[in-house]
Amino acid sequence: MIARNPDQAWGSLIERDGLMKLEAVIREDQSFLTMERYVGKGTKTYSPFAARTEAAPCYQPESGRPSFDLLTVNVPKEQVTIFQADPSLSLLNHYVRPQGILFAVHPETWTTAGIDYLNEIRAFPREAPIRVAPTASTRTVLTLEHDEHVPPHFLKLHYPVLISRFNRRLMRKNIENSIAVTRDVAQLHLDKFAYLPDVLGFTIGRDENAWGFLVRETIPHPIIQGRFLIPCFALFGRDFNQPDDLPLLIQMIKRLDAEPVSFVINEIFIPVIECWCLVARRGLLFESHAQNTLLEIDRDFRPRRIVHRDFDVWIDMETRRRADLEMPFLGKGLSADKGHVIEQYYSLIYDRFIGHGFFDYLLALLKGFYGVDEDAVRSQVRKAFHRSFPEAERFFPAQTMFYFSKEPPPGREFALEDMRRTPEWR
């Protein structure tokens, strides 16, 4: 649930107790945004770059600033490329107007020198700003003020600063492929699988330097009413304002009087694995770490689905060819990358992004609160992984894992190196 007047609701939630209680998830209009911004303490320790950011402090999610304004201009339609994945008519009409395209730019991007097409953009007629708040990813923001016909939505923005390990540009390839992936996963059917669709994309420019923004809906698809979202990192993260309070996952286990190990395995570990394997067999390597996944719960606080977001993912074109699937993607995918074999990417995504950056944190929480047998938990999860992906040995390196090297070679944004460690989650 997202408030229509969020600036009014925001202060009351933060100032009342500074704390995200489990009950607030289904009561408070602004609970989702509060979790995104303030219930992630201790969750960015999975790499030495995880907490690094060049974003100005006022635009970072943990800032005390409740909102800021995106700059917008009216760009002639013939100068913008539009990508669509079945957007609602209200969203489409909000950005694609008779007089031109409403084009949104992050304020820090607006003032940065040397960005392609920015001088042209600044020369277009200005439109009313869009009031937004940052989410956990920083460059993806939630819109806060709308007319009654425009639903709340997320905007993923071109923001060419270093956040974590990478420069957060949003180029045509990223946008076009995100829209194509949204259309592709709309064909999937699994009770535990849901997603936030990237329904609109806009780019300015006609060459490889074209960039723009994405529009993402806030309601998971397939749409089921009466559900609520918890960012998965907020399950184990601490509240920045009340760090001594119980993590939300522990609150949920207590509330449901659940057996901790079976609850976490059956409601989180296995559904995440089943969803990831489902899309991986279509050649889509979802980065299903704790920031890109959301836990959907019902009014009784019971988990229902794993909700996925951010579809700027690596694509295994050879797997899609073998499965006789469409190829609506810009670029040649992993098969064209001569620097690494495909197995290294599968290991990076599953072993490190999911295993280390998500599952390890949940397991540490279980051990800290309940003294569980770590090896027994991992053993059950490994069995579940191979049930869901019996052909995994064709896609993963045997008996080792790959991760980013500390020093990529000149001219490359990253390199992968053999960790020479046995995988713990497969």
pLDDT tens figures, 120-169: 999 999 999 999 999 999 999 999 987 888 999 999 999 999 999 889 99
Give yes or no for residue 105 having a pLDDT over 50: yes
CA 425 to chain centre: 22
**168: its two tokens:** 């957060």
- The answer to whether residues 71 and 191 belong to one domain is yes
- Cβ atoms of residues 169 and 189 within 8 Å: no
Tell me, yes or no, whether 61 lies in a domain: yes
Residue 264: φ, ψ to 5° = -70, -40
Q: What is the pLDDT of residues 13-47, one digit of tens each?
A: 333 344 568 999 998 888 999 999 999 999 999 99
pLDDT at res. 29: 82
Q: What is the pLDDT of residues 294-348, one digit of tens each?
A: 999 999 999 999 999 999 999 999 999 999 999 999 987 886 455 568 999 999 9
**272: its two tokens:** 């995440």
**How far is it, in rounded angstroms, from Cα 274 to Cα 270?**
6
| Residue 50: partners with Cβ closer than 8 Å, 6 or more residues away | 44, 164
**103: its two tokens:** 């084009």
Tell me, yes or no, whether 426 lies in a domain: no
> What is the percent of the chain with per-residue pLDDT over 90, rounded to a whole number?
85
What b-and-e string marks burial along 54-75, b requiring 16 or more CB atoms within 10 Å of the CB? ebeeebebeeeebbbebbbbeb
Give yes or no for residue 12 having a pLDDT over 50: no
Mean per-residue pLDDT, 215-239: 97
**How far is it, in rounded angstroms, from Cα 352 to Cα 423?**
9
The DSSP bridge partners found for residue 101 are 75, 96
Q: What is the pLDDT of residues 357-412, one digit of tens each?
A: 999 999 999 999 999 999 999 999 999 999 999 999 999 999 999 999 988 767 67
- The answer to whether residues 54 and 133 belong to one domain is yes
- The answer to whether residues 408 and 310 belong to one domain is yes
pLDDT at res. 245: 86
Q: Name the more confident of 220 and 245.
A: 220
- The answer to whether residues 147 and 257 belong to one domain is no
pLDDT at res. 14: 33
Q: What is the DSSP letter of 289?
A: S
Arithmetic mean of pLDDT over the chain? 92
Q: Quick one: which H or E segment has residue 422?
A: none
pLDDT at res. 335: 60
Tell me, yes or no, whether 148 lies in a domain: yes
Count of the separate structural domains present in the chain: 2
- The answer to whether residues 66 and 153 belong to one domain is yes
**How far is it, in rounded angstroms, from Cα 126 to Cα 117?**
16
pLDDT at res. 3: 36
* Domain housing 144: 28-217
What angle in degrees, to the nearest 10, is found between the helix axes of 248-256 and 360-370?
60
CB atoms within 10 A of CB 191: 10
Tell me, yes or no, whether 15 lies in a domain: no
CATH code, domain carrying 361: 1.10.510.40
Give yes or no for residue 5 having a pLDDT over 50: no
Tell me, yes or no, whether 3 lies in a domain: no
- The answer to whether residues 62 and 208 belong to one domain is yes
**How far is it, in rounded angstroms, from Cα 269 to Cα 274?**
9
Q: What is the DSSP letter of 350?
A: I
Tell me, yes or no, whether 222 lies in a domain: no
Mean per-residue pLDDT, 257-281: 98
- In this prediction, residue 244 has a pLDDT band, given cuts at 50, 70 and 90, of confident
Tell me, yes or no, whether 21 lies in a domain: no
- The answer to whether residues 247 and 320 belong to one domain is yes
**How far is it, in rounded angstroms, from Cα 90 to Cα 87?**
8
Residue whose entry in the numeric block shows the structure tokens 């810009």: 330
Give yes or no for residue 1 having a pLDDT over 70: no
pLDDT at res. 332: 78
Tell me, yes or no, whether 142 lies in a domain: yes
> What is the percent of the chain with per-residue pLDDT over 70, rounded to a whole number?
93
- The answer to whether residues 294 and 246 belong to one domain is yes
